[in-house]
Amino acid sequence: MRIYNTLTQQKEAFKTIEPGKVRMYVCGMTVYDYCHLGHARVLVAFDVVTRYLRHRGYDVTYVRNITDIDDKILRRADENGEVYTDLTDRMIHAMHEDEARLGVLAPSDEPRATAYIDDIIAMIQTLIAGNHAYAADNGDVYFAVDSFPDYGKLSKKKLEDLVAGARVDVQEAKRSPADFALWKAAKPGEVSWQSPWGDGRPGWHIECSAMSTKCLGDTFDIHGGGPDLLFPHHENEIAQSECATGHKFVHTWMHAGAIRVNKEKMSKSLGNFFTIREILEKYPAEVVRYFLVSSHYRSQVDYSEESLAEAGRTLTKLYHALRGITPAKDSDVPETDHDHRFAEVMDDDFNTAGAIAVLHAVANDINHHRREGDDEQAKRSAAILVRLGGVLGLLQQNPEAFFQADTGSELTAEDIEAMIQDRADARKAKDFAGADRIRDELLEKGIILDDSREGTTWRRA
């Protein structure tokens, strides 16, 4: 396997610290609002990474944190007139709902920042003792960036440029504009925890260092996240972690690509900001997942109505190949050239676009075998398609469930079945005009009929 390492900016042979085991940490959500499409990109990308590593036989420990204390959380809770924990609990529940609908597996561990306050304080104390951090007069504690000579090695930014371009509020007690907060003194009435520096709460960056090293050790295999986290968040994590432990923090850094909407950056100010649940009101969840998976995880993805529609059309082709077939038992179907090709492209930095092409090649085989009347070979190929699709979190539904999923149509499954029976009765009575009217009425309402020797099946457009 070869994985692109953001730190070295090149693909590298993947070697685990401990043979056969992968320890991976991915920065999760700050839970003050519903997850948006950018979050879905990261959730699905690292879900596929986890699934494939396990498919390759690795024992994967996947840790994804939750930031449940933050300025945005406190501000939103205050706006809502609610206790901040009520807000975070509700948003975490919603996040889990969104993940489940997208087929994202639960991480091995999901630590919350507020449960690691003691570990955060202990790490800050270690940094102060090593002259890498200092307590300011205002009750804040800052990391001294100039105490870490390698600062900037991930983002390739130079410290002198950062200092020259920084703006510092006159009230801040930093020694240098590039220094960042490890501990923030509490404002009057604000939620806080006791510390050697007074009541306060952790800065954003330190929580991930404390949680990741506590859950995975001082050094672990993979650290991932969204493209916006590379700097300053991940850069700061490296600095404070390596200064606190004296060890290399992470071997491989992975960053998912950005989401754009109709070729523009997604933002609330542009009115093109979509939450996961808003999108799932219009499109089946597996179509959204297919859309995200069909692009390489590092590539920029452009979201548009047409791109989702195209994802729906191409996923439908795969399910069409499986329709009406009972796949052979997976254990009875040995690995084939398709399995080997799938592994070859996925071993190349998780090339899911190439893996999707393999799925379509298998679907073509199924269709060929059916045309040739070779039902047994079609069943074996169907087992391969379901097997490889599962590695990407796709094609695990019964095809009829996929085709007939209710996405807000005015017609229920019972209504549709009744109209199909009326059409069949009309055809039996040689009322072909009446039968055609029923078919056209269903089509106008987004229901497509497929006639075959076995009878009539239907699917939602």
Instruction: Dump pLDDT digits (tens) for 232-275.
Output: 999 999 999 999 999 999 999 999 999 998 878 776 667 777 89
SS3 99: helix
Average pLDDT over residues 111-134: 98
Please, are residues 311 and 295 in contact by the beta-carbon 8 Å criterion?
Answer: no
pLDDT at 410 over 80: no
Higher pLDDT, 30 or 459: 30
Residue 148, classed as helix, strand or coil, is coil
Region 67-96: what's the mean pLDDT? Answer: 97
One DSSP character per residue, 181-229 reads EEEEEPPTT---B--TT-SEEE-HHHHHHHHHHHHH-SSEEEEEE-GGG
Give the mean model confidence (pLDDT) for residues 77-98: 97
**Amino acid 269: pLDDT:** 65
Q: Is residue 288 scored above 80 in pLDDT?
A: yes
Distance CA 442, CA 452 (A): 18
For helices 337-347 and 352-371, the axis angle rounded to 10 degrees is 170
Per-residue model confidence (pLDDT) at position 165: 66
Q: How confident is the model at residue 382 (pLDDT cuts 50, 70, 90)?
A: very high
Question: Hey, what CATH class is 2-256 in?
Answer: alpha beta
Bond before 188 cis per omega within 30 degrees:
no
Q: How far apart are CA 203 and CA 120, in angstroms?
A: 9
Greater pLDDT, 10 or 442: 10
Would you place residue 167 in the very low, low, confident or very high pLDDT band (cuts 50, 70, 90)?
low
Contact 69, 114 (CB under 8 A): yes
Tokens representing 136 are: 């300011």
Residue 148 has pLDDT above 90, yes or no: yes
pLDDT digits (tens, 9 = 90+) for 210-231: 999 999 999 999 999 999 999 9
- Torsions phi, psi of 329, nearest 5? -65, 130
d(CA 402, CA 420): 19
How far, in Å, are 120, 136, 204 from residue 142 at the CA level?
Answer: 13, 7, 12
Residue 31 pLDDT > 90 = yes
Q: Which of 403 and 153 is assigned the larger pLDDT?
A: 153
Annotated binding site, which residues? Answer: 27, 208, 233, 237, 268
Beta carbons of 345 and 321 less than 8 angstroms apart? no
**Cα 73 from Cα 77, distance rounded (Å):** 6
Residue 453 has pLDDT above 80, yes or no: no
Distances 326 to 85, 275, 286, 456 between C-alpha atoms, Å: 48, 36, 21, 18
CATH annotation of 260-403: 1.20.120.640
Q: What percent of the chain lies above the pLDDT cut of 70?
A: 97
The predicted structure's pLDDT at residue 408: 61
456 forms beta bridges with 451
Rounded distance between C-alpha atoms, residue 355 and residue 342, angstroms: 5
Nearest in space to 27 (alpha carbons), one of 69, 71, 66, 70: 66
DSSP 232: I
CA angle 196, 197, 202 (to 5 degrees): 100
Written as six digits, the tokens of 142 are: 């800052």
d(C-alpha 207, C-alpha 191), whole Å: 17
* Full-model pTM: 0.90
pLDDT band at 169 (very low <50, low <70, confident <90, very high): low
Residue numbering of the annotated binding site for Zn(2+): 27, 208, 233, 237
List beta partners, residue 22. Answer: 60
User: In this predicted structure, what is the pLDDT of residue 170?
Assistant: 46
Rounded Cα–Cα distance for residues 23 and 229 (Å): 20
Give pLDDT tens digits for 320-371.
999 999 999 999 999 999 999 999 999 999 999 999 999 999 999 999 999 9
Report the distance separating Cα 30 and Cα 73, nearest Å.
8
d(CA 262, CA 277): 19
What CA–CA distances, in Å, run from 440 to 170, 428, 434?
Answer: 71, 18, 10
pLDDT of residue 443: 86
Each residue's pLDDT tens digit, 42-75: 999 999 999 999 999 999 999 999 999 999 999 9
DSSP SS3 for 36:
strand
Share of the chain above pLDDT 90, in %: 80
Average pLDDT, the chain: 93
Domain map (residue ranges) of the chain = 2-256, 260-403, 406-460
Output the known binding site for ATP.
268
